Amino acid sequence: GIQVEQSPPDLILQEGANSTLRCNFSDSVNNLQWFHQNPWGQLINLFYIPSGTKQNGRLSATTVATERYSLLYISSSQTTDSGVYFCAVWAAGNKLTFGGGTRVLVKP
| Interacting residues of 95 by C-beta distance below 8 A, sequence separation 6+ | none
Among 26, 31, 60, 62, binds another protein (CB under 8 A): 31
- Looking at beta carbons only, is 49 or 106 nearer to another protein? 49
8 Å CB contact between 16 and 76: yes
- Binding-residue total with another protein (CB under 8 A): 23
8 binds another protein (CB under 8 A): no
* Residue list 78-107, contact with another protein (CB under 8 A): 86, 88, 93-101
- Looking at beta carbons only, is 66 or 94 nearer to another protein? 94
Q: Could you tell me the smallest distance in angstroms from the CB atom of residue 2 to another protein?
A: 11
DSSP string, 8-46: -SEEEEETT--EEEEEEESS--SEEEEEEE-TT--EEEE
Q: For residue 99, what is the DSSP state?
A: -
The Cα–Cα gap between 21 and 8 comes to: 7
- Interacting residue ranges for another protein, rule: CB under 8 A: 4, 30-31, 33, 35, 40-43, 45, 48, 50, 86, 88, 93-101
